[in-house]
Structure 1
């Protein structure tokens, strides 16, 4: 059997050597999508059914974020409205959202905090892309809200498991 070689075998992504910030955005959103998968695995073990259903819908949307700049816009106003509804549904479950919580708790909640951080990194990478080319404002809205949704999901998962949030008091900001 003869071994065939192609350049594709040595390339993990065809655009890796581009100078554009777009590649960094695409790598960031790929990481976000991967982290959502990791959070899903933990939430399945923790039997967080409502949050699992949300992440199962969010994961492909994260890949759609990935291609929506280089390719066709794949995030829709309906996707944003759905995400808005998720946020509204979770935000009404608590009245102490003015606090800043340490990212901790169950494995699933901790991974949702990682997803929150990845969404913020993706937003920042998208901002850099927007300095090079036009970017649909819907992508910024979706990513910003997505980070906030991951936060409320993490808090809900902890609450479902009886884990108390730990309020963070900054020595740098506020009354100190």
Structure 2
């Protein structure tokens, strides 16, 4: 027997007065630091999706990016459930340290095949590489927006580490795509 699912409405009108809810149900102003972090993480996820489209010829990287996009939703759940809430949903939003280990493994795998860096490089290396560099810079912004919540003990350490390591992953993935496509990275030139 099939269960008929109720269709969710896209708009709720509950935020029309400038506030919205955390995962716990607590309402806060939309300009609260939690929602800044969630917005930056969501934007990062969108840029990673855009980069993934451009990297579809690199199936391994495309698969990694898809995994990362799902984990970014997990990071968002963790952010949207501050630890100080002591809410029952905290048990559902814990972030696994093994996700950070995955990123580190992937970084090491890709980096071993790259020429060593001898200079700073500019975001370059073709469209796929450049899009990954954009995602990397958005990732750094997301990290900066989360750091206070992490230092205040409101976000799991592994969720914060994931975002920190993710920018390194995106840098190495950008270099890998450029290298595989035999597109020269642009070296920074000091005047």
> What's the CA shift for 1:13?
8.3
Which consecutive aligned stretches of 4+ in structure 1 deviate over 6 angstroms post-superposition? none
> Are the counterparts in 2 of residues 68 and 75 from structure 1 also a CA contact under 8 Å?
yes
Deviation of 1:17 (Å): 2.6
1:160 pairs with 2:180: yes
Aligned counterparts of 1:106 and 1:40: Cα–Cα separation in 2 = 14
Q: For residues 117-176 of structure 1, what are the alpha-carbon distances to aligned partners after superposition, in whole Å with 9 as ceiling and x for unaligned? A: 1110111000133465533222222111100000000011011111011121456xxxxx
Q: Is the 8 A contact 1:25 1:129 kept in 2?
A: no
Shift in Å, 1:65: 1.3
Q: Any conservation in 2 of the 1:28–1:125 contact (CA below 8 Å)?
A: yes
Partner of 2:37: 25
Find the residue that maps to 2:173 and give its secondary structure.
helix
* Length-normalised TM-score, structure 1: 0.82
Partner of 1:64: 74
Aligned residue pairs total 165
Q: CA deviation at 1:52?
A: 0.7
Mark the runs of 5 or more structure 1 residues left unpaired by the alignment: 172-176
Distance 1:9 1:136, change over 3 A: closer
Q: What residue in structure 1 maps to residue 47 of structure 2?
A: 35
The answer to whether structure 1 residue 51 and structure 2 residue 71 are counterparts is: no
Residue 174 (structure 1) aligns with: none
1:27-176 paired onto structure 2 within 5 Å: 27-44=39-56, 47-71=57-81, 72=90, 73-130=93-150, 134-170=154-190
CA distance in 2 between counterparts of 1:27 and 1:11 reads 18
Secondary structure of the equivalent of 1:148? helix
The structural deviation recorded for 1:80 is 1.1
Structure 2 unaligned segments of length 5 or more: list them: 1-10, 22-27, 82-89
CA deviation digits over 1:27-53, x for unaligned, max 9?
Answer: 000001111111111112xx1212111
Structure 2: how far apart are the matches of 1:19 and 1:51?
34
C-alpha distance in 2 between matches for 1:12 and 1:74:
28
Q: Aligned-residue CA RMSD in angstroms?
A: 2.5
